[in-house]
Amino acid sequence: MDVSSGGRFSHVIKTSQISKGLRRSKRDPRNSGFMVNCSGAVGRDGVLQVLDELTRLDASVDEGFPFPQLFVFTNIIIVCGQTKIYEWDGSSLVLKLTVTAGFAWKVVDFFDYVYMSNQRVAVVRDAGSKAYSETFDLPTARAICNFNGQVLVGAPDVTVSATGVAFGGEVIPITVTQHGDWT
């Protein structure tokens, strides 16, 4: 180490010290020539590269738990409040749609196309126009999953209220019975 240059220092790492790269497992023996830690870089295409700088996202959509919900997808970042849907444009949140309040959002993305539901409404983001709209062609959902390119929807068009469960217009009464002390 050379500290003679006004407080600055330099340290030369020899090729033999890094030629083996990072150890594959914590079980590799010590002093085997592998590096044990890599900070501030990731391996991409067999080469260490610096991490991309992260931008701080102002998601100050304060509507109570569990909102805001942040969804980071392949091509877009969506922030959902209880009634408002925002999209991150790289510098700020842009309001895209206001809908009926529901429960936590469930979202599935297919690059520029997005299908989402809060159990009260179903919303899509058109891949071509990039516009958000409420849809009645797709069901509302309690769960949405992309399984090998097929969308699986849990509890489609089912709503739960204090009086019962509504499924396809038919209300099925429910009764909640307490067993033991809930306090």
Q: Residue 1: what pLDDT?
A: 45
Q: Residue 62: what pLDDT?
A: 67
Residue 19 · residue 13 · CB < 8 Å: no
Cis bond before residue 29 (omega within 30° of 0): no
Per DSSP, what are the bridge partners of residue 88?
Answer: 93
- Note if the pTM is more than 0.85: no
- Distance in angstroms (rounded) separating the CA atoms of residues 132 and 4: 62
Give the helix ranges, DSSP H, for 4-152: 15-18
Q: Residue 29: what pLDDT?
A: 80
Beta-sheet pairing, 170-173 with 164-167:
antiparallel
Q: Residue 57: what pLDDT?
A: 67
Domain edges within the chain: 2-50, 69-173
176 backbone dihedrals φ, ψ, rounded to 5°: -105, 125
**Segments of the chain scoring below 70 in pLDDT:** 1-7, 17, 46, 54-55, 57-62, 159-183
DSSP state of 1: -
151 backbone dihedrals φ, ψ, rounded to 5°: -90, 120
